[in-house]
Amino acid sequence: EDPLQGICVPGITEYEAISAEEIMDLLRRGNRNRTQEATGANAYSSRSHAVLQVRIEQRDRSPGVEDTVRIGKLSLVDLAGSERASKTNNRGQRMLEGAKINRSLLALGNCINALGDKSNKNQHIPYRDSKLTRLLKDSLGGNCRTTMIANVGPSIISLEETINTLKYASRAKNIQMKIERNVDKVSAAIEQYTAIIANLRQEVASLRNRLTE
């Protein structure tokens, strides 16, 4: 956990993109690397969660000695669905994957419950119970706006999962956040400006000499 950048995932590469198309290319590359397998409930079941985070920094074009930096981060998260082994007929590796998915979703639900509990403002939030909740810490209880989209199925077979999903989303609505601008004041490199001024003075002196010749 970096004090400046927040949660950092070992082995993850951060790319610098200058256009929306570059971001979409990275998104498509990530989706190609995402594991999907067939289960008894779904022909194309995601075997992991997917997280895309876009960090944006805005600086003034003509900063003074003190530079104002506005920082924003967009997190797009696609959570894998909860699974019941009795319905998916998963065995072996698929069952282990489903168990890990369910544990991370349970940890996320516990964080949502704690954040939405208005009766205890000083309650401990168990972010460290899962890598998923640690990664989404500033998207759940941080300085942010968060939107959750709950996917439910119309089939009677999915009735229990649908009810649980709606309860999940209902608890998330209880979370209240206080939003402020992410603005940092960064002292510009005075040495850099000093060097620029010195070069400009040399150019002015050179032009004056040419005019007097």
**What's the pLDDT score for residue 85?**
65
Residue bearing the bigger pLDDT, 171 or 6: 171
What per-residue confidence (pLDDT) applies to 194? 75
Q: What are the angstrom distances between the C-alpha of 27 and each of 15, 37, 94, 141?
A: 11, 20, 25, 25
Span 120-140, pLDDT tens digits: 677 788 888 888 898 888 888
Mean pLDDT across the stretch 73-91? 77
CA distance 165 to 104: 15
* Model confidence band, residue 195 (pLDDT cutoffs 50, 70, 90): confident
Angle at 156 between CA 155 and CA 159, to 5 degrees: 100
With a cut of 90, say whether residue 162 has pLDDT above it. Answer: no
Each residue's pLDDT tens digit, 17-26:
888 899 999 9
Residue 155 has pLDDT above 70, yes or no: yes
Share of the chain above pLDDT 70, in %: 80
Top-tier CATH class for 20-212: alpha beta
Mean pLDDT of 79-88: 73
At 25 the pLDDT is: 93
pTM above 0.85, yes or no: no
Q: pLDDT at residue 65 above 60?
A: no
